[in-house]
Structure 1
Amino acid sequence: MGMKQVIKNLDAFPRAEDHLLQKTQSGALVSVIGLIIMATLFVHELRYYLTTYTVHQMSVDLKRGETLPIHINMTFPSLPCDVLSVDAIDMSGKHEVDLDTNIWKLRLNSDGHIIGTEYISDLVEKGHTHHKHDDHKDHDEHSEQKIHLQNLDESTENIIKKVKEAIKNQEGCRVYGVLDVQRVAGNFHISVHGLNIYVAQMIFDGAKNVNVSHVIHDLSFGPKYPGIHNPLDDTNRILHDTSGTFKYYIKVVPTEYRYISKEVLPTNQFSVSEYYSPINQFDRTWPAVYFLYDLSPITVTIKEERRSFLHFITRLCAVLGGTFAVTGMLDRWMYRLIEALTKSKSKR
């Protein structure tokens, strides 16, 4: 074998035989199918290339002195707004008073429609300031002062009458807004703790009649990013002929989401476990919904990234070339099958 023949054998593109260059209907069908498959795969690979994916990284949380935003949106279908209070406390036991906080309460009728609003400016157990959009009079500023049953003033009597009427009409309340708390462990809770104990006793005739059934529409610790899942969203806890205290133990994980545009979104994600404690006749506590949160020392960074163009070209060549090769093989097999069938018929 000469050198020329050796080089000729290296040709990866040998000339096709004459009969393989004939145009047939079966070849046209295979060609159309192959083009459709290649076009579909091309669009799929292009979308795959243009779609971003996320990479998760963990590091020690070094943030100090920042606030933690808590977004609340809840409905209490069995408690009127006049008795509900939102209270916050941190791990040192200090109530959070001087916060840039906006909490709103929407009065709901028995059908869940809004019939009035109320804005709470300060969140503290021992004194609530209310700005009403209706004719409701303010609660006593010092709820710790004991009001004996036989010495009720006119304002307190009006409050009791109004609340009893609201309960009779099956009013509910929607609480929503943002709590800006210190970035330390603590809790916030929604309850009737803002009422004087004697007033609460006259309204409800015992803690067992305080129904803290609730629906959590949204609870988050910062803005939402693509793909986040807040485990308490759309949570329903409805009580029937019983009462008790709900406690949600929350582990907050500081999170940074870095978009493909290099924009950084600081936020938090969290996990939660739940505990319910029913009220019995010997309890001195009143039912409430507690959210007890603690912060993780680890921060999570989520980065959006895009696949390289070279990776896209490599996959594109693989799928298009593979499809072309397979359809070529299929065309040859069909041609030979048809040719064999034609010859067998002619022999007959």
Structure 2
Amino acid sequence: MISTSKLKSVDFYRKIPRDLTEASLSGAGLSIVAALSIMFLFGMELNDYLTVSTTTSIVVDKSRDGEFMRIDFNISFPALSCEFASVDVSDILGTNRLNITKTIRKFSIDPNLKPTGSEFHAGPIPILNNHGDEIEEEYGEDSVRLTGRTFDHYSHQHAILVVNFYAPWCYWSNRLRPSWEKASKIIRERYEPEVDGRILMAKVDCTEEVELCRRKHIQAYPSIRIYRKGSDIRENHGHHDHESYYGDRDTESLVAAMETLVAPVPMESTLSSKDQSNSTADSAKRPAPKSGGCRIEGFVRVKKVPGNLVISAHSGAHSFDPSQINVSHYISHFSFGKKLSARTLSELKRLIPYLGGSHDRLAGQSYMTSHDDTNANVTIEHYVQVVKTEVISSRYSQEHKLLEEYEYTAHSSLVHSLYIPAVKFHYEPAPMQVLVTEVPKSLSHFVTNLCAIIGGVFTVAGILDSILHNTIRLMKKVELGKHI
């Protein structure tokens, strides 16, 4: 068994008795400085150990989302009606999807981008099996021609006012004209305005009454609007409740629709508009937007090839005046790829700065044009180049070790065109992707650096203390020798 004295002989840190040591002010000062230096360097080393270190590389896109990617957006159009706003997608492979509605929501807004009601539900548009009578047949002018001065007078006089907003140059308006006049004559004979007065069929020429049509948010021709008089006048600041008619446009169908409208209205016209609307539900009618703007939000899934996302006014049975269509818009959100869950964001929030912050570059951008002759027929185009970015972390489980995001650059321009104005997002996914990999820090390296810091500072402080102490002693000896 090894004796205690032999064991003590291997002591590397032999102690000097305290009585043989001498404390000094210079040594105390250096000790304090050394301790503070050790604490500062320890903090710097710890911060470096905890800081994320990454390497970046460019590789062929082999991301897990396959051949499709998702486009999320929230865009407000102060001058494009929800009634005709259409979201279309196409790509270079021949894909062409028109008027996507399943994953899209629309909300009517005013010119200040404030919502004017609940979600706008367009509903299915009936197929127009019959569209107007033969133009060759004779017809008269039996519908009442309304102007900006007479519109309010007639709308307050009749319980139901059905108005055809048309344009003489419009093909569909001319197809509708014979059947509209014939139906007006039949309804006038059955419900004489002087005797009955519950319903009146009228028309407005939007090329002459431009301001009236703009005030009624007419953006396509012909637009058949049904205005009801009732309690809604007081509740909606004097505006009548109104719907759009989307049924067949031949005389028989129009007369049948008018009969359905007038049936629940008593001769005294005292039935409230709420009761009327409950009694006249029909697939050929649907609520018309109360304002001329629309906020469109939702998402679409597209193939990862160059393509276009187009938002414009669209209808298979209406004509549009390109000079009256304004696609000014404000982008609240526009991004590619799936949204990350709150849990994933919470666990990987320290890695988010390495994504670059370009996943929603168009957010908050406004593209507004005034509606005058110089800004008519303006299409706004956005050219978007998309690149996939992946951040791989080694600190989490397989489920949360990967953070994926699409980043993009965007360039926008205004283009004058003879066609109906639209907003076009031309997107082009890159075939390569950016791969950011987290480089883990070595714990042994961290501990080694700590030992080097402590030992180095202690040694340097000891050397400085020795030099300072010997210098002071030497100065004292020199001073003592002078006195002697």
- Do these two structures clear the TM 0.5 threshold for a shared fold by scoring above it? yes
Q: Does 1:323 align with 2:452?
A: no
Distance 1:180 1:96 in 2: 11
Q: Secondary structure at the match of 1:166?
A: coil
> Which segment drifts farther, 178-187 or 21-30?
21-30
Secondary structure of 1:154's counterpart equals: strand
Give the match for residue 310 of structure 1.
Answer: 444
Confirm whether residue 154 of structure 1 aligns to residue 224 of structure 2. Answer: yes
Distance 1:196 1:56 in 2: 54
CA distance in 2, matches of 1:238, 1:333: 73
Please give the per-residue CA displacement for 1:182-239, whole angstroms capped at 9, x wherever unaligned.
23321112232458662x32xxxx4365142322434233345723222624341333
CA distance in 2, matches of 1:208, 1:338: 94
Q: Is the 8 A contact 2:387 2:429 kept in 1?
A: yes
Matches within 5 A, 1:217-256: 217-223=333-339, 226=352, 227-228=354-355, 229=357, 230=359, 232-241=361-370, 242=375, 244-256=378-390
State the distance in 2 between where 1:303 and 1:79 align. Answer: 45
3-state SS in 1 of match to 2:42: helix
Pair 1:114–1:43, CA change in 2 (3 A)? farther
The alignment partner of 2:450 has SS state of helix
Distance of aligned partners of 1:267 and 1:50 in 2 relative to their CA distance in 1, 3 Å threshold: closer
Alignment check: 8 A CA contact 1:223 1:267 kept: no
Work out the CA distance in 1 between the residues paired with 2:223 and 2:103. Answer: 31
Q: Which whole-Å deviations, capped at 9, do the CAs of 1:156-197 have from their partners, x for residues lacking one?
A: 99559956x624xxxx54332221122332111223245866
Aligned to 1:287: 421
Select between 173-182 and 262-271 the one with higher mean Cα deviation: 262-271
Change over 3 Å in CA distance of 1:196–1:329 after alignment to 2: farther
Q: Is the 8 A contact 2:386 2:408 kept in 1?
A: yes
What does residue 60 of structure 1 align with? 60
Instruction: Note the aligned Cα RMSD (angstroms).
Output: 4.3
Q: Which runs of 5+ in 2 are unaligned?
A: 1-11, 132-170, 178-221, 227-241, 246-286, 341-350
Whether 2:312 is the aligned partner of 1:191: answer yes
Aligned match for 1:214, one of 320, 330, 339: 330
CA offsets 1:38-79 (integer angstroms, 9 cap, x no match): 223223322322333333333333579632111213333454
| Matched residue SS, 2:172 | coil
**Counterpart of 2:291?**
166
Aligned to 1:250, the other structure's residue is in SS state strand
Aligned-residue offset at 1:324: 3.1
Identity of aligned residues (%): 25
The whole-number CA distance in structure 2 between the counterparts of 1:101 and 1:267 is: 26
**Secondary structure at the residue paired with 1:207?**
helix
Q: Which amino acid aligns with 1:311?
A: H
Deviation at 1:89, TM superposition (A): 1.2
Quote the offset at 1:86 in angstroms.
1.8
Relative to the length of structure 2, the TM-score reads 0.51
Q: In the alignment, which residue of structure 2 is the partner of 1:124? A: none
Paired residue secondary structure (1:321): helix
Contact 2:82 2:106 in 1 (8 A): yes
Which secondary structure does the structure 1 equivalent of 2:305 belong to? coil
> Secondary structure of 1:210's match?
coil
Q: CA separation of 1:326/1:246 partners in 2, compared to 1, >3 Å: closer, same or farther?
A: farther
* Cα distance per residue 1:77-136 (max 9 Å; x no partner): 45454443221112233323698952223334455444434378xxxxxxxxx35xxxxx
- Return 5+ residue gaps in structure 1 as ranges: 1-11, 121-129, 132-137
Report the counterpart of residue 87 of structure 2 in structure 1: 86
In 2: Cα distance, 1:240 partner to 1:345 partner: 90
Q: 1:336 to 1:97 in 2, by over 3 A?
A: farther
C-alpha separation between the residues in 1 aligned to 2:380 and 2:470?
Answer: 76
SS at structure 2 position matched to 1:222: coil
Count of aligned positions: 305
- Give the Cα separation in 1 of the matches to 2:478 and 2:116: 88
Q: Distance between the aligned counterparts of 2:75 and 2:223, measured in 1?
A: 33
